[in-house]
Chains A and B, each alone.
Chain A
Amino acid sequence: MISQIIVVFLKEMKSILRDKKTFLFGLIVPFLLVPSMLMIIDYSMKILQNQVVRSINISIDNKDNSFYNFCLAQDNINIIDANDTNKAISAYVKVDADIDQKILASEPFNIEVVNANSSMDSVMSISVLNTYIDVFEKEIIPYIKEKNYASDAERLKQIMLKLNVSNDVNEQVKQQVNEQNNSIDLSSLYFNMLVPMMLILYCCNGSSSVAMDMSAGEKERGTLEPLLSTGANRTSIILGKLMATTVIGVLSGMCTTLGLWGYVMISSSNNKIILSSLQMLSLLIIMLFTAMFFAAVNLTIGVYARSYKEAQTYFMPVSIISLLPTCFTYALDIANIKLEYMFIPIFNVVCIIKEIFAGAINYIHLLIVLISLLVYILLACCIMLKMFKKEEIVFRI
């Protein structure tokens, strides 16, 4: 029986490896996909941030006040006439006409920023502008009050220009902007959603086409009947196929994981996380089990379906459902992960992946997840075996 399983397994592997498409889309693409996705996101964020630091275009409704003069003195701020349609404005600023009088009288005043549109550029410009306003309120207002400059707008303007405040302020703003950019936490998006999604997607999808091909595909091509009429029993046949499916699924999941790891190692991005060998090992083990689980599920689908096409139809919802937990858990803080979650398939995998990335693996959780996955794998195998032995299913018309 064991030898028959191995015969089936080796034949399926040979057949799979001869198909360049499986090789390319099952192993090479997932290996490259996660790194390139992360690289593109990193790169585009950087471009955006640099642009904003370079200069922002704003429009101010009231001239001849200290805030207007302050902005005028900044190299990074271009004040543009609101009616000038040639230049793109990122933000509109509404300033009280009597802001200087209010400052001197220590009355509350109003500087309101309105974004021009909902583009990322506008959003980031406003964040930079707020930093300038911050500086204005903290550094310039005391200065104005002290010297009583506000009463003379023309003088203030000249002094602002002369005083070389602009350079100091620029430095200060740049620093603050940098700090802000660094704190924009993309890693949360990456590691809470995108990366778990990719990992699960590839554990699931990696084995789907081979699983369907060696089950429903065999029915379709008429090879199943000769196969079932050989001396090998059905249990050996399906177990050999399960092994081959699992190997491909696991390789696919591993390639995705290693691609991620490789990127994390070489990336200079500030969104990087450091994965220790132990974390990496935990991740690999969890991926191994997940891939095994999906291999069994995919093969079960393939055994049930009458044709490759039908199998694909069934596979679609499975693949979408398996991605849902990554969305549900996006906002879930790892401190709130409950023990019950560890029993829900896929959901538990996502939780563990989050713990791993957060560097807070709960080994009891890990153990429970592995055991419960094992139970689900065995369950899926039992269903698959039962189905493969049932003529109503194998010869369904």
Chain B
Amino acid sequence: MFKLIEIFNISKRFKNCEALKEVSFNVSNGEIVGLLGENGAGKSTLLRIISTMLNPTSGSAKINGYDLIKDSKLVRKNVGILFGSEVGLYERLTARENLEYFAKLNNMNKEEAKNRIDELIKEFSFEDYADKQVGKLSKGMKQKVAIARSIVHNPSVILFDEPDSGLDFKAANIVFKFMTKCKKENKSIIFSSHSMENIKIYSDRMVVLHKGEIVKQFDVKEYRQKYTDKEINDMLFNLVCGGDIDD
């Protein structure tokens, strides 16, 4: 086991708010980390920083050994992102063209890209509509293409921001099955969700953010053995809402 993601004291200030305060944690290979937190807790900001789209105000991080700021290009090579459930696709391109575009942007050569795309199309079984324009696909179909798109360059780190939002049970299941598979392939996965249940079921470790701070980090399996479901839920509820529940 080695640490694919190492985060040290990352803080992020926007003009009028402190979105992250000294966040530190590590993710090993083959580990799924679930991020839980209320709206505005800083989940998306954290994932954006790890994928180099935003620069941290202070602190540093290493992804697969590459420094977040100095080697941002190499970091991006190692990171696949999906922000939302079925987004990040170009409607007027076909599913295959979408994948090709991202493969090319990630500097894959033609042969390599073609094999990888065929493999992904097969894996997510969208052979039937691989050559249809994405705009004409249903939400569920798009979701599969979107997942395939996020990993077309075969990254070792996968960042999913609310991949289960707005999806029905079956569609959400596709995402989580995919994450489980990645875990088996020894990738590191961080995903955020508003569903406590999904995080409890699918993550190895849960990181609870509140107003930009990590208020709790624990091994899910361990906790589930130690406590009842209700106890965990109550505890999370208290953490996520900072104890100030109205009723």
Contacts and interface: CB of A to CB of B under 8 A. Distances in A.
Nearest to A233: B73
A18 B133 contact: yes
B48 A225 contact: yes
A390 B56 CA distance: 13
A151 interface: no
Contact of B51 (A19, A229, A233): A229
A7 B88 contact: no
Interface in B66-86: 73, 76-77, 79-84
A221 interface: yes
Given A222-B88, A391-B53, A14 B79 contact: no
A395 to B, nearest CB: 7
A15 interface: yes
Nearest to B87: A222
A224 B149 CA distance: 13
Contacts of A14: 92-93, 97
A125 B199 CA distance: 86
A225 B81 contact: yes
B55 interface: yes
A230 B155 CA distance: 11
B51 A223 contact: no
Contacts of B79: 229
B76 A7 contact: no
Contacts of B107: 4, 231
B105 interface: yes
Given A14-B97, A395-B53, A395-B54, A223 B104 contact: no
B92 A4 contact: no
Given A11-B101, A15-B90, A391-B53, A231 B73 contact: yes
Nearest to B73: A231
Contacts of B149: 226
Given A14-B93, A15-B93, A230 B88 contact: no
A226 B77 CA distance: 12
Interface string A359-397: 000000000000000000000000000000001100100
B150 A226 contact: yes
Task: Give chain B's interface residue range (CB within 8 Å of chain A).
Answer: 20 to 34
A228 interface: yes
A227 interface: yes
B87 A229 contact: no
A230 B53 contact: no
A221 B105 contact: no
Contacts of A15: 90, 92-93
B187 interface: no
A231 B150 contact: no
B48 A232 contact: no
B77 to A, nearest CB: 5
A229 B68 CA distance: 12
Contacts of B102: 226, 230
Nearest to B74: A231
Given A225-B88, A226-B83, A231-B77, A4 B93 contact: no
Interface string B90-108: 1111000100011011110
B89 A223 contact: yes
Interface in A197-246: 221-223, 225-233
Contact of B48 (A18, A221, A395): A395
Nearest to B55: A391
B153 interface: yes
A77 B101 CA distance: 75
A229 B80 CA distance: 8
B151 to A, nearest CB: 11
A223 B73 contact: no
Given A11-B93, A226-B81, A226-B83, A4 B105 contact: yes
Contacts of A19: 92
A302 to B, nearest CB: 16
B93, B97, B102, B106: residue with the most chain A Cβ atoms closer than 10 Å: B102
Nearest to A231: B106
B180 interface: no
B43 to A, nearest CB: 14
Interface of B: 15, 48, 51-55, 73, 76-77, 79-84, 87-93, 97, 101-102, 104-107, 133, 149-150, 153
Interface of A: 4, 7-8, 11, 14-15, 18-19, 221-223, 225-233, 391-392, 395
27 contacts: A7-B101, A14-B97, A15-B93, A18-B92, A18-B133, A19-B92, A221-B91, A222-B83, A222-B88, A223-B89, A225-B88, A226-B83, A226-B149, A228-B53, A229-B76, A229-B79, A229-B80, A229-B81, A230-B76, A230-B106, A231-B76, A231-B77, A231-B107, A232-B106, A233-B73, A391-B53, A395-B53
Question: What are the nearest 7 A-B pairs in CB distance?
Answer: A222-B87, A230-B105, A226-B88, A232-B105, A231-B106, A18-B92, A7-B104
